[in-house]
């Protein structure tokens, strides 16, 4: 049975920064309150011309560069997002087309802030089964588009960004060792975006009622999060045959500094073992785990052989944890340049669109 290794990583965060002081000009709040209650100082907000796919594509190209893997070698692309570009087509298909992943199956996965853990586990399982070799897993969000900038309960929390992992088959032991995925739909009401789906299709009334904005019972989510972060971590470690004493790093979903602190206490692990960057990006939902992971990797914190736990929770309710033994890219002498495939991908996309158009003309005549 092949092992599934994380061999490439990349992030993309928009440049525009929105500070707590900026938000204090929009709603009744203060930098002090936000920092005390959440640990957040600032977050990134996507420019008008940046979309969930834009950030996803940038993060993906970087991840492919690290893995030294051509987009044409990808078998699978999963985009985890709660803010997909459309209900359909899947954002993953837009990414597939733009990076030139000619033979990859692509789909979106919606498990809110737990989505990246779920998606990485799905990719790892497909690799371990032998059905695929190379997967690209992306967490990408433009939450600012669904944020009610008049609601101080939510607008202080969220930010935009994307992170991507390349996951590859290898005979070398290690890589993704175990995962748990859990859900509890009885808590669905705690965190919602109700408008625009089949139950509340977009109408003037849904817009007027604010149904296209994120709504949250912050206290309920807080209580749930502090319960499940620790338990999911322990369960996933047990499945991998490990205990908390084996853990080198925990990379948690970045929602609130106080939630991470509580999880650290529950697990009896020093806070220094937790990668935390919620202060600079806020809550980027499914993108928060890969963004934190990539920053830790780029600082040189993750060493070969380190045992790393990725743990998330979010709307659904959903939660999950994944344990990996860190190895890094698969050594190879060849050099591929994934960025160069973008030009090829654009041309290919144009040609295919033109052919589809011509095909349409002829088939109309046949009818």
Residue 314 binds ligand UT7 (CB under 6 A)? yes
* Ramachandran angles phi, psi of 179, nearest 5°: -160, 150
Options 4, 57, 93, 113; binder of ligand UT7; rule CB under 6 A: 113
Options 3, 222, 274, 310; binder of ligand UT7; rule CB under 6 A: 222
Q: Which stretch binds ligand UT7 (CB under 6 A): 11-19, 212-220, 272-280, 345-353?
A: 212-220
Active-site residue (options: 5, 155, 253, 256): 253
Please say whether the beta carbons of 123 and 322 come within 8 A. no
Q: Which of residues 46-75 bind ligand UT7 (CB under 6 A)?
A: none
Residue 146 binds ligand UT7 (CB under 6 A)? no
Please say whether the beta carbons of 310 and 166 come within 8 A. no
Shortest CB 109 distance to ligand UT7, Å: 16
Annotated catalytic residue 283:
yes
Shortest CB 113 distance to ligand UT7, Å: 4
Shortest CB 216 distance to ligand UT7, Å: 6
Please say whether the beta carbons of 339 and 65 come within 8 A. yes
Active-site residue (options: 113, 121, 134, 256): 113
| Contact pattern for ligand UT7 over residues 1 through 40, marking x by CB under 6 A | ----------------------------x---x---xx--
Nearer to ligand UT7, 219 or 346 (CB): 219
Q: Which stretch binds ligand UT7 (CB under 6 A): 168-176, 205-213, 215-223, 296-304?
A: 215-223
Tokens linked to 79 = 């985009």
Task: State the SS3 of the chain.
Answer: CCEEEEEEEEEECCCCEEEHHHHHCCCCCCHHHHHHHHCCCEEECCCCCCCHHHHHHHHHHHHHHHHCCCHHHCCEEEEECCCCCCCCCCHHHHHHHHHCCCCCEEEEECCHHHHHHHHHHHHHHHHHCCCCCEEEEEEEECHHHHCCCCCCCCCCCECCEEEEEEEEEECCCCEEEEEEEEECHHHHHHEECCCCCCCCCCCHHHHHCCCCCCEECHHHHHHHHHHHHHHHHHHHHHHCCCCHHHCCEEEECCCCHHHHHHHHHHHCCCHHHECCCHHHHCECHHHHHHHHHHHHHHCCCCCCCCEEEEEEEECCCEEEEEEEECCCCCCCCCCCCHHHHHHHHHHHHHHHHHHHHHHHHHHHHHC
Q: Which stretch binds ligand UT7 (CB under 6 A): 214-222, 238-246, 325-333, 355-363?
A: 214-222
Shortest CB 217 distance to ligand UT7, Å: 8
Options 105, 187, 218, 329; binder of ligand UT7; rule CB under 6 A: 218
Kindly state the greatest CA–CA separation across the chain.
72
Nearer to ligand UT7, 127 or 287 (CB): 287
- Binding-residue total with ligand UT7 (CB under 6 A): 20
Options 72, 148, 153, 170; binder of ligand UT7; rule CB under 6 A: 153
| Contact pattern for ligand UT7 over residues 249 through 288, marking x by CB under 6 A | ------xx--------------------------x-x---
Annotated catalytic residue 253:
yes
Which residues contact ligand UT7 (rule: CB under 6 A)?
Answer: 29, 33, 37-38, 113, 152-153, 156, 191, 216, 218-219, 221-222, 225, 255-256, 283, 285, 314
What are the residue numbers of the active site? 113, 253, 283
């Amino acid at each position: 049975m092949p092992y599934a290794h994380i061999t490439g990583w990349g992030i993309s965060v928009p440049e525009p920064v929105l500070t707590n002081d900026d938000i204090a000009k929009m709603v009744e709040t203060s930098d002090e309150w936000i920092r005390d209650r959440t640990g957040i100082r600032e977050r990134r907000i996507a420019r008008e011309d940046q979309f969930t796919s834009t950030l996803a594509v940038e993060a993906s190209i970087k991840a492919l560069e690290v893995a030294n893997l051509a987009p044409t070698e990808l078998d699978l692309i999963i985009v985890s997002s709660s803010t997909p570009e459309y209900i359909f087509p899947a954002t993953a298909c837009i990414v597939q087309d733009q990076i030139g992943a000619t033979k990859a199956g692509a789909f979106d996965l919606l498990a809110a802030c737990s989505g990246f853990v779920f998606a990485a586990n799905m990719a790892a399982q497909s690799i371990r089964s032998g059905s695929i070799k190379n997967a690209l897993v992306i967490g990408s969000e433009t939450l600012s588009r669904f944020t009610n900038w008049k609601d101080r309960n939510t607008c202080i929390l969220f930010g935009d960004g994307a992170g991507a992992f390349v996951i590859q088959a290898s005979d070398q032991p290690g890589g993704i060792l175990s995962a748990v995925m859990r859900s509890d739909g009885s808590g669905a009401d705690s965190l919602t975006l109700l408008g625009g789906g089949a139950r509340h299709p977009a109408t003037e009334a849904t817009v007027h009622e604010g149904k296209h904005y994120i709504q949250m019972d912050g206290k309920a989510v807080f209580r749930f999060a502090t319960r499940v972060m620790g338990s999911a971590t322990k369960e996933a470690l047990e499945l991998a045959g490990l205990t908390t004493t084996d853990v080198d790093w925990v990379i948690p979903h970045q929602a609130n500094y106080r939630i991470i602190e509580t999880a650290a206490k529950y697990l009896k692990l020093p806070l220094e073992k937790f990668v935390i960057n919620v202060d600079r990006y806020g809550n980027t939902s499914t993108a928060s785990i890969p963004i934190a992971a990539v920053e830790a990797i780029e600082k040189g914190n993750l060493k070969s052989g380190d045992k790393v736990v990725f743990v998330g929770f979010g709307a659904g309710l959903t939660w999950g944890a994944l344990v990996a033994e860190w190895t890094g890219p698969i050594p190879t002498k060849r050099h591929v340049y994934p960025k160069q495939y973008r030009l090829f991908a654009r041309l290919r996309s144009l040609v295919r669109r033109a052919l589809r158009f011509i095909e349409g003309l002829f088939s109309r005549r046949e009818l």
